[in-house]
Amino acid sequence: MDLKLNGLRALITGASRGLGYATAQKLAAEGVLVAINSRNEENLKQAALQIEQQTGVKPLTIAGDVTQPEGAAQVVQQAIDALGGLDLLTTNAGGPPPARFEEIDDQLWQNAFELCLMMHVRLIRAALPALRQSKAASVVTFTSYSAKQPIPNLILSNTLRAGVLGLTKSLSQEYGTEGIRFNSVLPAWIETERVIALMKNRAQINQTSVEIEIQKQSQQSVFGRMGTAEELANAVVFLLSPLSSYITGVMLTVDGGMYKALY
């Protein structure tokens, strides 16, 4: 199936590994001109090399911390300057640490606020002028199904990612008349380094093993397993593509049936 992505220009943040990397790889395979970002320049260069080997497309690498106000704007501007504009944007970063409510001080709340909410705000704000010039403008925010179904010991994520859903839905209404689409993906438990770290935390709390915790969590899916980064990326790439041109304001759970509610 031709997703009509060939030749479009995309910025993917948090792309040196995990969900961002898988998304960048899929976009490059579709012929997208890709700019990838993360804080670690060496990891970013390695990711770009792997994407080029897999797809034949050499991504532009932009190192920078998008959780910082000036960092987000600089990353977006570098991508626009190098690509000659911007059509597609995915806003993605890591998640806050696991903790219970009484263990969290104001600084941890502020750090999570910058990481989980303001990162999206600043990237989108900086990208809007270029997106307005695109005939296929599409933004996908990365959140978590914890925004709909809270996860134990992840109160920072549960609280702040819900704000991103409100942001995404609001922007879809505000900018729809300008042809800019906004959607969000809400992954559940996907096999990434962050998820393994969370499983290690659970194993310590429960005095079990990482393998046992992965097995327990996998049983919450109707498929009896966690998802893969590639499966999440497939959903993101479709939402970004012109084939989903009448889809906006959608909060898509990619969860293997772990989210149990009707809405």
Record the pTM.
0.94
How far is 82 from 58, CA to CA, in rounded Å? 13
- Domains in the chain, please, with CATH? 9-190+228-254 (3.40.50.720), 191-226 (no CATH)
User: Mind listing the pLDDT tens digit for each residue in 158-177?
Assistant: 999 999 999 999 999 999 99
What does the pLDDT profile of the chain (263 residues) look like in tens digits? 899 999 999 999 999 999 999 999 999 999 999 999 999 999 999 999 999 999 999 999 999 999 998 999 999 999 999 999 999 999 999 889 999 999 999 999 999 999 999 999 999 999 999 999 999 999 999 999 999 999 999 999 999 999 999 999 999 999 999 999 999 999 999 988 888 888 898 889 899 999 999 999 999 999 999 999 999 999 999 999 999 999 999 999 999 999 988 88
DSSP string for 7-72: T-EEEESS-SSHHHHHHHHHHHHTT-EEEEEES-HHHHHHHHHHHHHHHS---EEEE--TTSHHHH
Sign of CA dihedral 254, 109, 162, 236: negative
> Can you read off the two tokens belonging to residue 164?
């991103």
Cα angle vertex 159, ends 157, 162, to 5°?
Answer: 95
